């Protein structure tokens, strides 16, 4: 027979799908947490979580939003490229500022996020053009009719929705497959990488990409463990990091109670692996290389980074562009969140925004 709700009705309407039932008052499995999958339907929960300084599950709180708009000055009718669409909060602000006829080209490598955000931005109609693609290929949407963008923006890293979904393997807080791919067309997951990477290369990556003080110990422990079994889940990796650091979960909990701001012992390892799996620095370097040729004269680029290695790349590229006469102005220093934003959205704490403005040859020749 099956579930009667699955069988449609005599009027030929599509079958109504019932959500999966869960036992108890709090759903334990991510798939059963219907509120996370439809956050807009529960505004009161969103408000409550935001008031506590949290990010409501299934959403993403935009970082440095006012500062981005001040730095990039989107104007009515302009063409904006949001290289990292995510939940679409920055994108929606760009669309409002460029109304009534400005265009927004949104990119994301993550098909799941892109489709959900497409629905969220539907009210803006055909002013929104979304592409599932890597921002390293930003130039591919340009045409002789539309040779450049007025604004290019990237908010690097992963979104809160990706971190909070245990099936993606980004978080040490939930048990899940050791995946960490933003783009599921990439072949190599974090588990594959840990199964094959040389110990020295892993130690170096943990040091360089996450300043992990115990990089050698963790890399050696990975080599020991993988000689007997594969590391398949996020909690396999968390346990391994604790072992390498000679720390028990109980000791960490005690330490965390005394110093609640301290980073989780596995946070740096997860960060370095995620950056490697998704070749985040390689993609950023390519975006920075092509950016000047993708901007219209006088066009502005803004990049929010969350890691010193990324920020260094952005700063160097903008300064070099200024020296080479590609940019006419760049931010003096990184713009960071104020006290209130850091308190209200702890995930914003390490954010740094830098911007640059492409030289406007038309003005330069007039002078
Ligand atoms: C921090 S979130 C962006 C949040 C967004 N600004 C908002 O307001 O919701 C970063 C997003 O960029 C995507 N992403 C990361 N690297 C990318 C790349 N190289 N090309 C395209 N998308 C990327 C991620 O999948 C993620 O959805």
Domain 187-276 homologous superfamily, CATH: Putative methyltransferase TM0872, insert domain (1.10.150.170)
What pLDDT does 165 receive?
A: 92
In the predicted model, what is the mean pLDDT of the chain?
89
List the domain boundaries for the chain.
65-160+280-366, 187-276
Residue-level pLDDT at 366 = 53
**Index of the ligand 1 atom closest to the CA of residue 65:** 8
- pTM for the structure as a whole: 0.86
Q: For 145-166, what is each residue's pLDDT tens digit? A: 999 999 999 999 999 999 999 9
User: How close is the Cα of 353 to the center of ligand 1, in Å?
Assistant: 15
| Mean pLDDT on 113-125 | 95
Phi, psi (rounded to 5 degrees) for 49 = -65, -40
The structural architecture, per CATH, of the domain 65-160+280-366 is: 3-Layer(aba) Sandwich (3.40)
Smallest CA separation from ligand 1 atom 22, residue: 108
Lining residues, ligand 1, CB within 6 Å = 60, 62, 83-84, 86-90, 107-110, 113, 134-135, 155, 157-159, 182, 283
Which residue, among 144, 146, 130, 143, has the nearest Cα to 79 in the 3D structure?
146
**Could you tell me whether strands 103-108 and 295-305 are parallel, antiparallel, or unpaired per DSSP bridges?**
unpaired
Collapsed DSSP state (helix, strand, coil) of residue 250: helix
pLDDT tens digits, one per residue of 194-249? 999 999 999 999 999 999 999 999 999 999 999 999 999 999 999 999 999 999 99
- CA 107–ligand 1 middle distance (angstroms): 8
- What sign does the CA torsion over 18, 19, 20, 23 have? negative
pLDDT of residue 60: 77
Radius of gyration of the chain (CA): 23
pLDDT, mean of residues 272-299: 98
Is residue 225 classed as helix, strand or coil in its secondary structure? helix
**Residue 345: count of CB within 10 angstroms of its CB:** 21
Q: How many angstroms does the Cα of residue 247 sit away from the middle of ligand 1?
A: 34
């Amino acid at each position: 027979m099956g579930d009667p709700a699955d069988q449609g009705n005599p009027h030929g309407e599509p079958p109504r799908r019932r959500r999966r039932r869960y036992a108890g008052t709090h759903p334990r499995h991510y798939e059963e947490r219907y509120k996370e999958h439809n956050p807009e339907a529960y505004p009161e929960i969103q408000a409550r979580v935001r008031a506590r300084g949290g990010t409501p599950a299934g959403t993403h709180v935009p970082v440095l939003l006012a500062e981005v708009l001040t730095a990039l000055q989107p104007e009515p009718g302009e063409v904006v490229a949001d290289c990292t669409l995510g939940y679409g909060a920055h994108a929606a602000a760009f669309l409002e500022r460029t109304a009534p006829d400005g265009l927004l080209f949104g990119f994301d490598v993550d098909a799941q996020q892109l489709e959900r955000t497409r629905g969220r931005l539907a009210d803006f109609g055909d002013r929104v053009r979304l592409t599932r693609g890597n921002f390293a290929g930003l130039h591919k949407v340009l045409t002789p009719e539309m040779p450049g963008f007025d604004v290019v923006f990237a908010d690097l890293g992963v979104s809160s929705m990706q971190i909070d979904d245990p099936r993606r393997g980004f978080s040490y807080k939930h048990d899940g497959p050791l995946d960490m791919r933003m783009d599921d067309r990439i072949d190599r997951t974090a588990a594959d990488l840990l199964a094959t990477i040389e110990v020295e290369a892993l130690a170096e990556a943990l040091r360089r990409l996450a300043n992990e003080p115990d990089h050698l110990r963790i890399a050696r422990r990975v080599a020991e463990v993988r000689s007997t079994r594969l590391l398949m889940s996020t909690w396999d990796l968390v346990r391994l990091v604790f072992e390498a650091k000679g720390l028990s979960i109980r000791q960490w909990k005690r330490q965390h109670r005394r110093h609640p701001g301290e980073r989780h012992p596995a946070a740096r390892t997860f960060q370095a692996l995620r950056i490697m799996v998704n070749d985040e620095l390689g993609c950023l370097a390519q975006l920075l290389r092509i950016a000047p040729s993708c901007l219209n004269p006088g066009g502005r680029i803004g990049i929010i980074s969350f890691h010193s290695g990324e920020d260094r790349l952005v700063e160097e590229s903008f300064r070099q562009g200024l020296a080479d006469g590609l940019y006419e102005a760049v931010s003096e220093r990184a713009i960071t969140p104020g006290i209130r934003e850091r308190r209200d959205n702890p995930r914003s704490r390490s954010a740094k925004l830098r911007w640059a403005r492409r030289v406007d040859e038309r003005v330069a020749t007039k002078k």
